[in-house]
Structure 1
Amino acid sequence: MAQFFTAGEIAKAAIEIESRGQEFYLRVAAKAKKPETQDFFKFFAGEEAKHRKLFEDLAKRLGPVELPAWSTNEEYAEYLAALLDSHALFSGEYAEKLMSEAEDEAAAVRMAMSFEKDTILFFNEMRELVPDAEKGFVQHCIDEERSHLRQLRGRLQRR
């Protein structure tokens, strides 16, 4: 049987995504040899911390708000669970392996790009689940994640 979510639980999942993203970026910054590379990844860690705070505030606003009726069918709940389970930073030992293998900057940037893409996908779904008054907030976060993806791609291309 599928797990059903409240809007607040979806926001808490977003908080966890941002927390893990911050942890990833800090780990990569600590491994980096060049100060410029350290600063690049520390910037993204700061962005993830900022987003985490925004989603913490959203979770408080949403509380136990129920999801729309269409979103609570078993198939959709399983889809949301699959999005979380397959997120680049939620795949358990595989994520740990990737992080430990991200020895060079290019590998770290590629993993970060995967993380950002997975986050955009989750936030796109989240936008459809929150009350109309919160959709603009989630869209703003999507736009910032898209900007991060473009910045990471630019970094990879300049190498």
Structure 2
Amino acid sequence: MTTRRCGVADIVNGTIRMRSSKKRQQHKHQNGASHFYTVSHYSTLKEASGGHQPIPISDAMKPVDYTNADITVSFETGDHGDGFPFDGLGRTIAHASAPGDGRFHYDTDEPWAVGATKDAFDLETVALHEIGHFLGLDHSSVECAIMYAYIDRGATKGLHGDDIQGIKALCNVWA
């Protein structure tokens, strides 16, 4: 089994710290709901399981355009226009842009599933890792941490104490 890697570089512009340039704001819409993310490419999302455990996406679900969404999630392949092309079935499985931009891409060529599936990557575990980058977290050297740069197929993770300490440090909260 080959360990795969997050596509976010460990050093960005000569520094290891990532900061958000986006103002913290909540987008309220007519129904009062707050929209933090949007997903594009639903047809690709349905096919992203690559013959593995089907991803439970309703056929009735339609793309919704929240122009002011903080995060846009999509499945991409190869050179998809952000300057960080995917390598096909290979080393990099996903990447997120630095805080403030809000683009989060899964590599369509990798096998995906929801939950621990032997030959696929867990969508939720990878999403949690990439959202950590949106919040300003860098990669961790702690292997059990969600922000560790590498993951194996079939692995699922949640927040680790190291991840929580990282967020507290970014938010200057020590309680």
Q: Hey, which of these two has a bigger chunk of helix by percent?
A: 1
TM-score by length of 2: 0.27
Please report the TM-score for the alignment, with normalisation by the length of structure 1.
Answer: 0.29
Larger proportion of strand:
2
